[in-house]
Chains A and B, each alone.
Chain A
Amino acid sequence: MSESEQTSSVEQKMQQQVLRYEYVLEALSDIGDELCRVSSFDAQLKSLLHLLLGTLGVRKGGIFLFDNYNKRVSLRCSWKLVHKNFEYDLPHDEITALEADSADITYRAADYKHLRGILEAFAEDNLDCISILKVREKLIGFLVVGHKLKEIPLTEKEVSFLKTLSRNISVAINNFLLLSELREANVRLDEKIQEVSILYQASQMISSELQLQALLDMAMSAISEITDIERGTTWLYEEEHRQFNLMSHLGDASKLPENLSLEDSEILQIVAERKDTFEYEKGKSQPAELKRLDEKVFGEAFVVVPILNQGEFLGLLHLCATAGANGFTSRDIRLIKVFAVQLGAAVKNAQLYEQAITDGMTKLYLHRYFKQRLPDEIKRAARFKRNLALIMVDIDHFKKLNDTYGHQTGDEVLKHVASILRRAVRTHDLPVRYGGEEFALVLPETDMTGAVAVAERIRRSIETDFLEVNGVVIKITASFGVSVFSDCADDMDSLIKAADVALYWSKEHGRNQVTAAPAKIIREVE
């Protein structure tokens, strides 16, 4: 061989080597590119594996990832290996060994002393090398590669390429895992924000409502915003009678009683005693069998959430998930519980307010509250050009009743009449204890004909509903005066006066009757 021929052969070899390095460099830059691509983790892993195999000229290989949580490695991506899926629990000492052994990461599979269980499972693949994937002593997994075509093993140079590429793949995988953790955290954060905003809206709805009835109606619709429910009820506990009163409901309520005694319901007893949320599903929860009443009221699968305020048991929410929804998720329950805390405070507020504006004995609104509300109601009626009726009621011969039967019986009479009034009114009507034996009813959006009909109905009820006190049947009657805004009067004082005058007319003309105040025009004519 001549000198020039020798030179050119060395040159050729050099050129070949430069080409090979260029090719590896290209693969490294492709790994970098791969990191920037928006694709799934599995697609990225597959690309990384192919990049590696193609750079080394190897026929097969796979990437195993280590799950630090359950200490298990699994084959996440493979090309031409005997197993497509493979899982293996890593013993503690193996993990320590793999993480500690930081000097080198790439070994000939045949000589490697760790992970024997896995390498033997892939014996058929005649694997050539194994590289441990880790970033700063944290084990990510490992990768295996087979031989080149014709079962030729990798050269020492190629093993060193494998080592470099493996390091880069470790970083790529680690980055991807960090990124997906970040994405997951973001999704969780978004969910939290959404939950908080739902709760905020729901709490906003209920926080300023002081009327118990309206409050609990709102609570039901707020809950249906939080989660899908088929049916739901709210109950408030009345200590005095040890019973729960139905306050609001959503869905079919035809089978629901107005109140439930604590004694009769096992479910109520459980919730009142535990003061904690209680999920029930027939056949899965205790008690195995529900009493018929409980099943009728609550159903076969439901959740009951107590309404508490600073430990005081106020009542409960009862909810049935939409059919087919397979119950409530833990998120639903969590949100409802948080909402129930807000509701507890709102209910307590409303109860305190109601106590402040109602008469303890008759449970009717106080005169003070009447004086405060009536101008608002008149303004509202004026603005919307609606009628507003006022009925004044006075029990006939109350003084005589008191004198004959005593004050205690007198109180019973007042309570009796008050309960008739309470039953006679609609949600937005205002029954008031006006004075000693005098009552008032404010009826929004009611004209004279309607108001007189209401008054007449109440008059008849009082007359016919006998009251029995200590075995004595007491006959009660009452007189009524009705006035209407704006037919009879334009302001509060004249509206009250008109009703009063009409009431006086009833008293003067034989009592136990209803008198309508004359319209303004007629009065003017007179």
Chain B
Amino acid sequence: MSEEFSLSHQVDGPVLIIRTKGYLNDLGAEQVDEICSEHLEKSVNKIVINLEQSPLINSIGISILIGVIEAIEESGGALAFTNLTPTNRKTFEMMGLLQFAEPFDKEEEAVAKYKG
């Protein structure tokens, strides 16, 4: 919980890959929203969010991811969450996030699908 949130991102062809690190309870998580909006404006609208290093996601994180989902929906793009812990997966399912975003075990699988 004390670990500060940070993230890195990378564009691979038509795909934006975001790797988060740390607990998504921090307002720092708003960066995810900012980076997605930036790239959506540049028509990079296939986004893969790798949550391997964020084993704990609380409602703050969910609210931000909802924002991202909405923006991608509006732009007609696609969103994938990868490397979800079982807890996160359950939460995402319960909150209906997985109706709008596809879960993948590995980041590469999602990227391969979106590039293909």
Contacts and interface: CB of A to CB of B under 8 A. Distances in A.
A17 to B, nearest CB: 10
B96 A55 contact: no
Interface of chain A, helix or strand or loop or mixed? helix
A57 B67 CA distance: 10
B66 A50 contact: no
Nearest to B62: A54
B91 A23 contact: yes
Contact of A51 (B58, B67, B70, B73): B58
Contacts of A79: 63, 67
A264 interface: no
B75 interface: no
B70 A149 contact: yes
Interface residues of A, number: 23
A57 B27 contact: no
Nearest to A19: B94
Interface in B45-91: 58-64, 66-67, 69-70, 73, 90-91
Contacts of B67: 59, 79-80
Interface of chain B, helix or strand or loop or mixed? helix
Interface size band for B: 20 to 34
Interface in A35-55: 43, 46-47, 50-55
A57 B100 CA distance: 13
B72 to A, nearest CB: 11
Contacts, number: 68
A303 B35 CA distance: 57
A46 B26 CA distance: 10
A148 interface: yes
A20 B58 contact: no
Given A23-B94, A149-B100, A59 B60 contact: no
B27 A54 contact: no
A53 B62 CA distance: 8
Contacts of B58: 26-27, 30, 51, 54
Contact of A47 (B27, B66, B69): B27
Given A19-B94, A46-B27, A54 B69 contact: no
A60 to B, nearest CB: 8
A25 to B, nearest CB: 11
Contact of A30 (B59, B69, B70): B59
8 contacts: A19-B90, A30-B60, A50-B64, A54-B62, A54-B64, A79-B63, A149-B70, A149-B96
Given A23-B59, A23-B95, A50-B59, 18 more contacts: A16-B94, A20-B94, A26-B58, A26-B59, A47-B27, A50-B64, A51-B60, A53-B66, A54-B64, A54-B66, A54-B95, A57-B66, A57-B96, A58-B63, A59-B66, A79-B67, A148-B96, A149-B69
3 A-B pairs with least C-beta separation: A54-B59, A54-B63, A54-B62
Interface of A: 16, 19-20, 23, 26-27, 30, 43, 46-47, 50-55, 57-59, 79-80, 148-149
